[in-house]
Amino acid sequence: MPVLNQLFIAQVKQKYALCSANSKILVVGLGITGLAVVRFLSAQGFKCTVLDSRTKPAMLANLVAELPNIEVLSADLAQYDFTEFSHLVVSPGLSLNYASMQQAFAAGVIHISEIDLFCCATKTPIVAITGSNGKSTVTSLLGEMAASAGKNVAVGGNLGLPALDLLADTIELYILELSSFQLERVKNLNAAAATVLNISPDHLDRHGDLATYKLVKQQVFAGNGVLVLNADDAAVVDMQLPNRQIKWFSLHQSTGFHLGKRAGVEYLVAEDKYLMPVSCCGLEGQHNVANVLAALALGAAVNLDLDAMCTGLKNFQGLEHRMQLVAQINGIKWINDSKATNVGACIAALEGFKNQVILIAGGDAKGADLQILQAILIAKVQIIIVLGKDAKLLSAIAVAVNIPAINANSMQDAVQYANNIASVGSTVLLSPACASLDQYKNYQHRGDCFKNAVLNLAREFQNG
């Protein structure tokens, strides 16, 4: 953790009235982000107190091992009096809408986000990536591309390490995935290049409606950096700003970073330069081709060499739980897309298939409108196997358009049902369109359960 120069101290004092002598800082939420905030502020000479509603927060043991003198409080956030502190740093997973917090802000308590602290701590160029779907793939892929282009790059944010844990004097480029929860409280972001990959309903239980969610996502474009926009998404096209450089990407239009054909072969194209055949990407699904185009556009926006980026693309193996080919068993392909935690991600996954699939879906829809799945179910789904909290709702939506639905009590059952139905040439896709927390620790746990069930099938097949 670098100890920063006086420029950082001056910036946080000017922007947030934060100084080590008399500021009382409360870090709310002791997850990985909260721990990163405490670690960072302590290294810069600031004193912190930690508050969590849990008596044993996720990172308590880590904090005690690293910083045993930090006071840790446990209390109901809705009832807590925050006014005894001068500054709050609230973890992004926690809402700022508690009446107790709002009263504190009205009384003059200042909120600072972890990303604003990060932006005050570095002058190194930042690429900021958000969107309803694909942001983890684009973030990771761009990191691979930047490394291939010879950059000492750090990748994280909402993906992997928290932004503050990435800080180092040797880094030449930061690539950050940013969630809507992070963006709704950012005031100091000025990325060299930024993108909203797409917009579809997500986290409406937090943001209220799609219009508000869209406005939150648009905060990624604060500052004066290059806008990288999806020409195929009307909501993103509406985000273009005057007097800002724009780079476009598109699957369907010949603009910016797009697709083109040469001798019957589909290519990735940068403006008018043919880069490489799409078939060399090695990623499943048409939506991943859009992700590739977005990553290329972002890299070009920060002057990465196109040929070097293509080398990075060829080396990229994709992300676990994101259109991940688990196995091919007896001519049946099994694909894990557990990271499709919303309707838009499921639609994007299904659109990438030429033939109909057996779909495993369900979980907690978080209030999203599942009806919008009907058109893609008709076009791309042979049969749907549903599980989780909103299984019955999803089943009714499918049956209403004559798509057979089977209810499964567990992932093991879902995989077994799919195997009974599938034949040579079939694809079984786990793409839940829902969050996982109704049945699993997280989407990774859900994906691991799917993989384990599939690999058990593979062993049974091999043992004959």
How buried is 354 (Cβ within 10 angstroms: 0-12 exposed, 13-18 middle, 19+ buried)?
exposed
CA 116 centroid distance within chain: 19
* Lowest mean pLDDT segment, chosen from 75-79, 101-105, 163-167, 198-202: 198-202
**Model pLDDT, residue 3:** 57
Which band of pLDDT confidence, cut at 50, 70 and 90, is reported for residue 70? very high
CA neighbours closer than 13 Å in the CB half-sphere of residue 117: 35
What pLDDT score does 366 carry?
A: 85
**Residue 297 backbone dihedrals phi, psi, to 5 degrees:** -65, -40
Question: Mean of the pLDDT values across residues 56-85?
Answer: 93
Architecture of domain 324-463: Alpha-Beta Complex (3.90)
Question: What percent of the chain shows pLDDT beyond 90?
Answer: 75
pLDDT at residue 1 above 90? no
Read off the tokens for 6: 């006086």
Average pLDDT score over residue span 166-178 = 96
At residue 341, what is the residue type? T
Contacts of 314 (CB under 8 A, 6+ apart): 276, 280, 282
Decide if 69 contacts 149 (C-beta within 8 A). no
What is the mean predicted confidence (pLDDT) over 216-227? Answer: 95
Helix, strand and coil percent figures for the chain, each rounded to 5: 40, 20, 40
Q: How many residues does this entry show for the chain?
A: 464
pLDDT of residue 205: 61
Task: Average the pLDDT over each of 127-141, 306-320, 424-438 and give the range with the smallest value.
Answer: 306-320
Residue 344 clears pLDDT 90, i.e. is over it: no
What's the pLDDT tens digit per position in 300-331? 999 999 999 999 998 887 778 888 888 899 89
Q: Could you report the per-residue pLDDT of 358-376, keeping only the tens digit for each?
A: 999 999 998 888 999 999 9
Cα distance between residue 123 and residue 103, in whole Å: 34
Give residue 228's pLDDT.
98
107: exposed, middle or buried (Cβ count in 10 Å: 0-12, 13-18, 19+): exposed
Q: In angstroms, how far is the first alpha carbon of the chain from the final one?
A: 54
Fold for the domain defined by 6-112? Rossmann fold (3.40.50)
Beta strand pairing status for 226-230 and 193-196? parallel
Asked if 162 and 169 touch (Cβ cutoff 8 Å), the reply is: no
What pLDDT does 118 receive?
Answer: 95
Over range 401-412, report the average pLDDT.
Answer: 96
Mean pLDDT, range 197-203, rounded to an integer: 78
- Report residue 64's pLDDT band, with 50, 70 and 90 as the boundaries: very high
Per-residue pLDDT reduced to its tens digit, 234-281: 999 999 999 999 999 999 999 999 999 999 999 999 998 999 999 888
Burial of 425 (0-12, 13-18, 19+ CB in 10 A): exposed
pLDDT (0 to 100) of residue 11 = 87
Query: Could you give the CA distance from residue 385 to residue 192 in angstroms, rounded to a whole number?
Result: 44
Catalytic residue among 111, 135, 321, 451: 135
| 321 catalytically annotated | no
Give whole-number Cα distances, 203 to 51, 143, 180, 220, in Å. Answer: 25, 26, 8, 17
Ranges of each domain in the chain? 6-112, 117-315, 324-463
Model confidence at 10, pLDDT cuts 50, 70, 90, reads: confident
As assigned by CATH, the class of the 117-315 domain is alpha beta
Percent of the chain with pLDDT strictly greater than 70: 97
Q: Are 348 and 333 in contact, with CB atoms under 8 Å apart?
A: no
Residue matched to tokens 């048409």? 286
The pLDDT value given to residue 75: 94
Candidates 133, 158, 291, 419; catalytic one: 158
* Residues 6 or more apart whose Cβ sits within 8 Å of residue 122: 167, 171, 174
Helical H segments across 316-410, by residue range: 343-351, 374-380, 391-399
The pLDDT, as a whole number, for residue 123 is: 92
**135 is an active site residue:** yes
Confidence of residue 431 (pLDDT cuts 50, 70, 90): very high
Q: What is the pLDDT of residue 283?
A: 79
Catalytic residue among 87, 111, 203, 380: 203
Among residues 404, 366, 374, 400, which one has the least CA distance to residue 386? 404
pLDDT over threshold 70, residue 204: no
Judge whether 117-315 and 324-463 match in fold: no
Does the active-site annotation cover 380? no
Indicate the average pLDDT of the chain: 92
Enclosing H/E stretch for 286: helix 286-301
Return the higher-pLDDT residue of 348 and 407.
Answer: 407
